[in-house]
């Protein structure tokens, strides 16, 4: 059976670089750093002092107050970004098509803030004072659930939880739903609100977070002086659509999604497999799925977390897959500006990849001042670059050994 072609027709985000796609993209191209001093929790309690927070988000701009109060912050982000993406796609959802439009949005840790606050209530005041909305606010699938309720999308409905690979896995899985004919459009991506007391405690305890107190320089992927990632929050949502469905309604097409790869390291719960072999297999699977030759790749939005092993092993994985062409393609880590949005990272980075194709400009890796000799590729250091981008790849790697890659191509009729 011939695979149905799938295109991107809508984009939406709430990110540390802006409350919409336009602002987020412009700030990324200008090398603006969205990392600031930590305020959502007491910085005195942690060795990590900075985070990529969203400080001006008002859920009531998108959601009625009574409904917003029944949602954790990660779900509010997802609903807001999904509303923007569907509006951008000019996609009308009604009884004539609702059953063919689905939602697949993931979250790495779900409603952590709700869990912490309600557990404190339980300890101090007993179970009767715990909110009846505690469970539906906390569980990771509630972003998908609330988006489908808000928009009336009744089609394929699911949620991925694969740690930091969540957003990319969600997009890849939603792509396959449309490709095999089970939906005509999918609202997909990731959402996360992890800047909470216990999340910060856990990541500080396992020494994953940077302890650099300077917000402007703390996230420095591929730099020799990197010392950990920066916690970020937000959502990145895209609308995927079957090509003929998009054409028939005159939709704007940003790019075509052509490949998806997903693998497991089967190695360690937090450390990537040596040499990034699992990530390499995901990249190889994605380009094979898209029928793409390695030398055709123009740009890779790297996972690029600013941790010692990730940056080194992802670089090794790229070399394994692309050989000599590795030194000719552009690689950048937008986490240098956005921080690491955990389960939402892949959603936001898919948006960056699509816009790089549409605009033929690549966002930079900022703070790359002292390159690590083990990281010797072209990381588009410190300044955006105008160049033709026909094919772009986005990588995400997660705790548990999850690796996910999606590939986008400039849309050609």
Contact present, 342 and 109 (Cβ < 8 Å): yes
**223-258 pLDDT, tens per residue?**
999 999 999 999 999 999 999 999 999 999 999 999
Q: Given a cut of 90, is residue 413 above it in pLDDT? A: no
Residue 204 appears among annotated catalytic residues:
no
Q: Which residues contact 145 (CB under 8 A, 6 or more apart)?
A: 136, 157
Count of other CB atoms within 10 angstroms of residue 305: 27
The enclosing domain of 385 has a CATH number of: 3.40.47.10
Verify that 52 and 189 share a domain, yes or no: yes
Q: What percent of the chain stands above pLDDT 90?
A: 99
- The answer as to whether 15 is a domain residue is yes
- The answer as to whether 26 is a domain residue is yes
Give me the domain span that covers residue 40: 6-248
Catalytic residue among 33, 164, 204, 375: 164
Q: Given a cut of 70, is residue 1 above it in pLDDT? A: no
- The answer as to whether 254 is a domain residue is no
Question: How many domains, in total, are found in the chain?
Answer: 2
Verify that 71 and 95 share a domain, yes or no: yes
pLDDT of residue 244: 98
Verify that 35 and 168 share a domain, yes or no: yes
Verify that 31 and 118 share a domain, yes or no: yes
pLDDT of residue 201: 98
**342-401 pLDDT, tens per residue?**
999 999 999 999 999 999 999 999 999 999 999 999 999 999 999 999 999 999 999 999
Verify that 144 and 48 share a domain, yes or no: yes
Verify that 33 and 122 share a domain, yes or no: yes
Verify that 326 and 396 share a domain, yes or no: yes
**76-93 pLDDT, tens per residue?**
999 999 999 999 999 999
Average pLDDT over residues 302-331: 98
Beta strands in 90-134 (DSSP E): 101-106
Verify that 227 and 360 share a domain, yes or no: no
Q: Which residues contact 371 (CB under 8 A, 6 or more apart)?
A: 222, 223, 224, 379, 381
CB environment 135-167: b (16+ within 10 A), e (fewer): ebbbbbbbbbbbbbebbebbbbbbbbbbbbbbb
What's the rounded Cα separation, in Å, for the pair 201 and 228?
Answer: 14
Strand partners, 300: 331, 393
Q: How far apart are the first and last CA of the chain?
A: 21
Verify that 14 and 144 share a domain, yes or no: yes
- The answer as to whether 1 is a domain residue is no
Mean pLDDT score of the chain: 97
Q: Which of 248, 277, 298 is the last residue of a domain?
A: 248
**5-15 pLDDT, tens per residue?**
999 999 999 99
Verify that 197 and 279 share a domain, yes or no: no
Judged by DSSP in three states, 234 sits in strand
- The answer as to whether 51 is a domain residue is yes
Q: Given a cut of 70, is residue 260 above it in pLDDT? A: yes
pLDDT of residue 2: 78
Judged by DSSP in three states, 328 sits in coil
Q: Which residues contact 100 (CB under 8 A, 6 or more apart)?
A: 155, 183, 184, 185
């Amino acid at each position: 059976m011939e695979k149905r072609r799938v295109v991107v027709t809508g984009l939406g985000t709430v990110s540390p670089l802006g409350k919409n796609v336009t602002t987020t993209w412009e700030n990324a191209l200008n090398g603006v750093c969205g990392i600031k001093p930590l305020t959502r929790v007491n910085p005195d309690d942690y060795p990590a002092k900075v985070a990529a927070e969203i400080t001006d988000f008002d859920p009531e701009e998108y959601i009625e107050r009574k409904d917003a109060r029944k949602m954790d912050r990660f779900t509010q982000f997802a609903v807001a970004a999904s509303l923007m993406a569907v509006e951008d796609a000019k996609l009308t959802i009604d009884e004539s098509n609702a059953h063919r439009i689905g939602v697949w949005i993931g979250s790495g840790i779900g409603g952590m803030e709700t869990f912490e606050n309600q557990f404190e209530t339980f300890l101090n005041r007993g179970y009767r004072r715990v909110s009846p909305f505690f469970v539906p606010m906390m569980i990771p699938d509630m972003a998908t659930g609330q988006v489908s309720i808000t928009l009336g999308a009744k089609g394929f409905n699911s949620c991925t939880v694969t740690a930091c690979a969540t957003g990319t896995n969600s997009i890849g899985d939603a792509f396959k739903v449309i490709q095999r004919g089970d939906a005509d459009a999918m609202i997909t991506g990731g959402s996360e609100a992890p800047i909470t007391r216990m999340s910060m405690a856990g990541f500080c305890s396992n020494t994953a977070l940077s302890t650099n107190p300077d917000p402007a320089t703390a996230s420095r992927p591929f730099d020799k002086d990197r010392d950990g990632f920066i916690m970020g929050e937000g959502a990145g949502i895209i609308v995927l659509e079957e090509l003929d469905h998009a054409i028939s309604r005159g939709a704007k097409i940003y790019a075509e999604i052509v490949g998806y790869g997903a693998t497991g390291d089967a190695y360690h719960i937090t450390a990537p497999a040596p040499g990034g072999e699992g990530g390499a297999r995901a990249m190889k699977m994605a380009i094979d799925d898209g029928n793409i030759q390695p030398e055709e790749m123009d740009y890779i939005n790297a996972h690029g977390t600013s941790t010692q092993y990730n940056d080194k092993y992802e670089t090794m994985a790229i070399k394994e897959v692309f050989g000599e062409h590795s030194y000719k393609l552009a690689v950048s880590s937008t986490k240098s500006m956005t921080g690491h949005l955990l389960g939402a990272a892949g959603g936001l980075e898919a948006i960056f990849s699509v816009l790089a194709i549409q605009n033929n400009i690549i966002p930079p890796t900022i703070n790359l001042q002292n390159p690590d000799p083990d990281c010797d590729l072209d990381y588009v250091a410190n300044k955006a670059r105008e160049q033709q981008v026909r094919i772009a790849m986005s990588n995400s790697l997660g705790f548990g050994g999850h690796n996910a890659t999606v590939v986008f191509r400039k849309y050609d009729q």
